[in-house]
Structure 1
Amino acid sequence: MECAILCHNTVGCQSFNLGTASPYQCQLLTLTTYDTVVTGSNSFNQYIKTTAMIVPVKTSSPGHWGTWHPWFYCSPGSYMHAVRIKYDDYYSSPDAVGVTHLEVFCKYPDGTAANNAVNGVIDFTPTGSWLTYQGCPSGTWIKAWEQSVTPALGTASDDDALNNLVFHCSSDLNGRSGLGTSLLGTGDTRYPLSLGECPFSFMACGLSLMVEAYQGTNGDNTGVNDVNLACCFIDLFE
């Protein structure tokens, strides 16, 4: 493969020579622990697979309790485009549970809807309400998110764990120009947000939630405690 060749979804193309500035070619990638790469010969720089996925992408504010649920993935070739959040406001009940469910909507680059799924609490019916549908502008995708997690408050106070999720869309269809539109989140501003972001030319294509099991009617219940994303390489014409 010559250095200047780009894939642009060409049938049979297996790797992409990706730089960090236009024309996005013939430059070394900055790689992280979870990056999937194909390395060329000594005469080439590094190449990234057209099917590359980075898992997991995290924030610096992890949750406290629960177990990780199975990963949900967008259908191959589609990316996360919109979300709905079910949220139990901290001031709404004696045992508020924060974010309890997250519905994810995936879309193909041509605008066709792909799969969607509700993820979250499965062993009890928590209080709370579904917030409005939050979607990225056409031709952009979810690329990053911020989350805030209530610190462990002890037995004398009500823990609600994950209390806000603010998703950020890409500013372009290739994920190469930073972040664009910010979605609404829950509106809870009690604690600072921490950011998790898909790398250059990657978009969100899946997620896993850490969810605490039901603590009983006399327990201190929380819902979702933490979020991890999966990010998939995207190669589209601008």
Structure 2
Amino acid sequence: MAGCRGLCGVALAALWLAAAAVAAVPRGAQDDPDVIGVPNGGLRGAWAWQDRCPERTYATGFSIKLEAYRGIPDDTALNGIRLHCTPGSRGDRHEARTAESQSGRWGRWLEPAWCPEGTYLQRFSLRVEEPRPGLQDAMGATNVRFACSGGQNLEGRGLAWGEYGAWSPPCTKGLCGIQTKQEMALGPLSDDTALNDVRFFCCTH
């Protein structure tokens, strides 16, 4: 231990300085995450490609692709999510462009839902049906909701099966990109689920 005295003193001093530097960083000073997600996404499928809003735009609305409930022989519920991106803090909806990752083959696109003027999408929550044992029909993700920067929540017109999980962390500057986790069609007499999970990329401008 006697030979450690000088080296140990240097090491302890370095640790003290590192701890002091961490303590000096004020709460909330960390940068936004690059990508946000939720912990309750479905397990099936694989992550598809990323798509992003055009430059100088960010998401102020969204729409979903939904297969209406049929009961038999197979339901897939939520098949796709689109971001509707507009320029500026009061972007004209007529100028909106879309960002869309892979979508499932079933269902149809519903009308967009929009944040109030001057606000934008900031975080989200996903409704997912938990896997069921046996041969019962699984659906994966069934709906999605978003929180706008002004405090309003927007919910898709999806299905009621499953439960919403925790809200994602917020993107302070808004959402500018999307990536979906999709299960490809499995073929006749198979249990398809389509969209199982989604994550969004934070704006940097």
TM-score range, shorter chain: 0.7 to 0.9
> Which residue among 88, 91, 100 is the counterpart of 1:111?
91
Q: Name which of 170, 176, 186 aligns with 1:198.
A: 170
Q: Distance in 2 between matches of 1:208 and 1:117?
A: 9
Aligned to 2:194: 223
Higher relative contact order (CA 8 A, sep 6+): 2
What's 2:120 paired with?
141
What residue in structure 2 maps to residue 188 of structure 1? 159
Aligned to 1:57: 36
Q: Give the Cα–Cα distance (whole angstroms) in 1 for the partners of residues 128 and 67 of structure 2.
A: 14
Render the CA deviation track for 1:88-121: whole Å, top value 9, x for unaligned. Answer: 2344442100111222210111514353144333
Q: Which runs of 5+ in 1 are unaligned?
A: 1-26, 36-52, 172-179
State the aligned residue count: 177
Question: TM-score, normalising length from structure 1?
Answer: 0.67
Give the match's secondary structure for 2:85: strand
Distance 1:93 1:141, change over 3 A: farther
1:157 to 1:92, Cα distance in 2 relative to 1, 3 A: closer
Aligned to 1:82: 61
- Of 105, 130, 133 in structure 2, the residue corresponding to residue 151 of structure 1 is 130
Secondary structure of 1:138 counterpart: coil
Q: Which has the larger radius of gyration?
A: 2
Structure 1 residues 59 and 220: alpha-carbon distance in aligned structure 2, compared to 1, 3 A threshold = same
Task: Confirm or deny: 8 A CA contact 2:120 2:174 kept in the other structure.
Answer: yes
